[in-house]
Amino acid sequence: MPVPSTPTNYWVQTGNMTNFLSWDLVSTATSYSVQRSTDGVTYSVVSTPATNSYLDSSVTVGTQYFYKVAGVNGSGTGTYTAAQSVVPTLPGQSSLGDLRLRAQQRADRVNSQFVQLPEWNYFINQAYYELYDILITVYEDYYVAPRLIIQTTGAQSYALPNGQNYSAAPALYKLYGVDCGLDSSTNAFVTLKKFDFIERNRFVYPQLTSNLLGVFNMRYRLVGNNIMFIPVPSGAQYFGLWYFPRLTELLKDTDIMDGISGWDQYVIIRAAKYALDKEESDTSKLDAELIYLKQRIEESATNRDAGQADTISPTRNWSSRWGDGGANGDGGFAGY
């Protein structure tokens, strides 16, 4: 009996932090040999299943794995398949390599060289940024960085996080909210509001500086790459910044698209549309699918917290019902 022929219809997939291999049965094979590598050069046998599939759960998230499969019988081991690679990820995440393959498949351009690999990666990153904007707009609190605590030095303006300052805190993309410390510790905060730029000199005369209680109705505003406070905060006062971090670009095939939690289909279709737009091909079906996906995101956004969906907003004018909303430092409860 000759050794088994090479397995056909061999596929490698990833999901749920595992890698799944499948192939067609080889009639003369009594078992199969599965080889694995992390560099695509040095392989070792990780399993000898009797069936035409193998689930590899001994993998590390973010590591690229290469697999080959061959049939085995009493005469020996047949020829191995060509290697296929995959990068396991956490649920709802995808690697750059997987995203690029899916986008090429969606555009039916897997072997086309009209769009080169760096350009595919660029399209995917642009689609990733676009999806991120949609999510943080409709979900609002979808992907907020840990609160950054800033201690004042008596100056009026302070640098915003850029990824290198403040112990390498994530770079700021959009500000979400600012807290003001009520004392010289970080355990008592009140929420600050933004001041209108026309009021930037509101507390100039007489020269006033806030104290640790944050009096004078302190406000903030973003000015360039800094955050500015009025009145000027005293030294050793604490402020907390809540913000959406800036995304890092996906460069390596093992780089993982994070913070999207299941909306990778939008990135795949959008990148495919970028590629077909370059070819001046018809993308009407992709356009319709993008509209559908945006609608799904918007409809599911308010139900992200199923226990308390954000579907109710204040409908009364609080400043007229409860004083001036706190503009005069009365907490908004005038007449009480």
Give 29-62 pLDDT, tens digit per residue.
Answer: 999 999 999 999 999 999 999 999 999 999 999 9
Per-domain residue ranges for the chain? Answer: 11-86, 94-140+259-301, 148-246
| CB 4, CB 78: distance < 8 Å | yes
**CB under 8 Å to 44, separation ≥6 — which residues?**
35, 36, 37
Structure tokens of 109?
């351009």
Structure tokens of 6?
């090479």
Amino acid (1-letter code) at residue 100: R
Split at pLDDT 50, 70, 90, the class of 124 is very high
Q: Is the pLDDT of residue 309 over 80?
A: no
User: How far, in Å, are 140, 169, 243 from residue 131 at the CA level?
Assistant: 13, 23, 17
| CB 85, CB 254: distance < 8 Å | no
Query: Residue 173's CB: how many other CB atoms inside 10 A?
Result: 17
Q: Is the pLDDT of residue 148 over 80?
A: yes
pLDDT at 36: 98
User: What is the fold, at CATH topology level, of the domain defined by 11-86?
Assistant: Immunoglobulin-like (2.60.40)
Q: Is the pLDDT of residue 136 over 90?
A: no
- Per residue in 61-112, pLDDT (tens digit) is 999 999 999 999 999 999 999 999 999 998 888 999 999 999 999 999 999 9
**CB under 8 Å to 173, separation ≥6 — which residues?**
243, 244, 245, 246, 247
Total-model pTM: 0.81
pLDDT at 327: 47
